Amino acid sequence: MTASTIIAPSILSADFSKLGNEIDAIVEAGADWIHLDVMDGHFVPNITFGPQVIKSIRGRTDMVFDCHLMIAPTDAYLAAFADAGCDIITVHAEAGPHLDRSLQAIKALGKKAGVSLNPSTPENVIEYVLDRLDLVLLMTVNPGFGGQKFIEPVVEKVRKVKALIGNRPIGIEIDGGITPETAPLVAAAGANVLVAGSAIFKDGNQNNYAQNISAIRKASNDAM
């Protein structure tokens, strides 16, 4: 394969006291997308930020804002995230009973639509919404926190999702525990977008972000 892996740093592991500056640093360091982890303290046991914060950093860059909504319910908030400047809006299949409706709502707002699956959720929940999808985000940790250990059985699910997608133009994104050691496992199975938080922001030293990003990208590309 010739396409290079898309690297999406998760700002969950950034220094929030200087968030705008951290955005500038990862853009400069060669990020492809910016991954925004929105948590509500209800669907997941943690609370992060919402559309107002996203809007406040939107002016820093025109890079793709990849918004991962870990909230329930979702539909009432989709317009706010679209207005805040998210380019891709991903909802969890487990967050509500009407996944098809949520995906239609995202499309109606003119945004790219993604679905995310927790590690324990089988891939067949996407079977009847495939034609509404731009992205499938497979969690390789239980969502809620950065810095957790990669859950390896999900690698098999990556293969199954790849087969379900066939030749549709749908990205396969992996989120959780991605490092230069785990990236090749999911890249070889068919993933083409990798989220990484702690492996990129780990020591808070902005001088290292470029090498942290390129180490993951290289490990992934070599395995594709």
Q: Which residues pair with 173 in a beta bridge?
A: 137, 193
Using rule CB under 6 A, residue 93 touches ligand DX5: no
Nearer to Zn ion, 105 or 174 (CB): 174
Using rule CB under 5 A, residue 40 touches Zn ion: no
The verdict on whether 83 is a catalytic residue reads no
User: What CA–CA distances, in Å, run from 116 to 137, 142, 170, 206, 209?
Assistant: 4, 11, 13, 29, 26
What minimum distance in Å lies between the beta carbon of 99 and ligand DX5?
18
The verdict on whether 100 is a catalytic residue reads no
Name which of ligand DX5, Zn ion, none residue 148 binds, using a CB cut-off of 5 to 8 Å depending on partner kind.
ligand DX5
Using rule CB under 6 A, residue 196 touches ligand DX5: yes
Q: Torsions phi, psi of 5, nearest 5?
A: -60, 135
One residue of 171, 175, 183, 215 binding ligand DX5 per CB under 6 A? 175
Q: Torsions phi, psi of 74, nearest 5?
A: -105, -40
Catalytic residue of the set 40, 66, 134, 175: 175
Using rule CB under 5 A, residue 175 touches Zn ion: yes
Q: Are 66 and 36 contacting, i.e. CB atoms less than 8 angstroms apart?
A: yes
Q: Are 140 and 162 contacting, i.e. CB atoms less than 8 angstroms apart?
A: no
Using rule CB under 6 A, residue 190 touches ligand DX5: no
Using rule CB under 6 A, residue 114 touches ligand DX5: no
> Of 67, 97, 95, whose CA–CA distance to 82 is shortest?
67
One residue of 6, 7, 12, 216 binding ligand DX5 per CB under 6 A? 12
Using rule CB under 5 A, residue 92 touches Zn ion: no
Tell me the three state secondary structure of residue 59. Answer: coil
Nearer to Zn ion, 108 or 148 (CB): 148
Binding track, positions 45-74, relative to Zn ion; x by CB under 5 A: -----------------------x------
What minimum distance in Å lies between the beta carbon of 2 and ligand DX5?
26
Beta-carbon contacts of residue 74 (< 8 Å; ≥ 6 apart) = 91, 92, 95, 96, 102
Q: Torsions phi, psi of 8, nearest 5?
A: -120, 90
Catalytically active residues, by annotation: 37, 175
Site residues (CB under 5 A) for Zn ion? 37, 68, 175
